[in-house]
């Protein structure tokens, strides 16, 4: 919890999210398996920490998905959806280790 910014309620990794134009194949695979039938992301933002790459996907309007992909994996280990009215944990298949 020491890396949590109480003012913005973001961890230090999420504060470092930056736009990327062309995500790696590994991240594209992880996102495809996590999103299933959701819309194609309009914008990708990523940041790395010691164990994961955090991927924030803009799905339009106020909808976002945030995934954590362990380095070297092509599936997300955890994920959350965010909108203007709610936030919930994604049920990911095969991602948790």
* Residue 57 DSSP SS3: strand
pLDDT tens over the chain, length 97 residues: 345 445 556 678 888 999 999 999 999 999 999 988 888 899 999 999 999 999 999 998 889 999 999 999 999 999 999 888 888 998 887 554 4
**How far is Cα 80 from Cα 67, in angstroms, rounded to an integer?**
7
What tokens appear for 55 in the block?
């991927």
Domains by residue range for the chain, with CATH: 19-89 (3.10.450)
Phi-psi region of 24 (alpha: psi -120 to 50; beta: other; left: phi over 0): beta
Q: What is the pTM of this model?
A: 0.81
- C-beta separation of 55 from 69 below 8 A: yes
CA gap 21, 76 in Å, rounded? 20
């Amino acid at each position: 919890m020491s890396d949590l910014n109480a003012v913005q309620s973001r961890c230090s990794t999420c504060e470092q999210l930056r736009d990327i134009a062309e995500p790696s194949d590994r991240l594209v695979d992880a996102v495809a398996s996590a999103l299933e039938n959701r819309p194609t992301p309009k914008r990708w933002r990523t940041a790395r920490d010691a164990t994961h790459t955090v991927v924030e996907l803009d799905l339009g309007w106020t909808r976002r998905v945030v995934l954590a992909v362990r380095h070297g994996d092509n599936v997300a280990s955890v994920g959350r959806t965010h909108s203007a009215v709610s936030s919930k944990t994604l049920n990911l298949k095969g991602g948790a280790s």
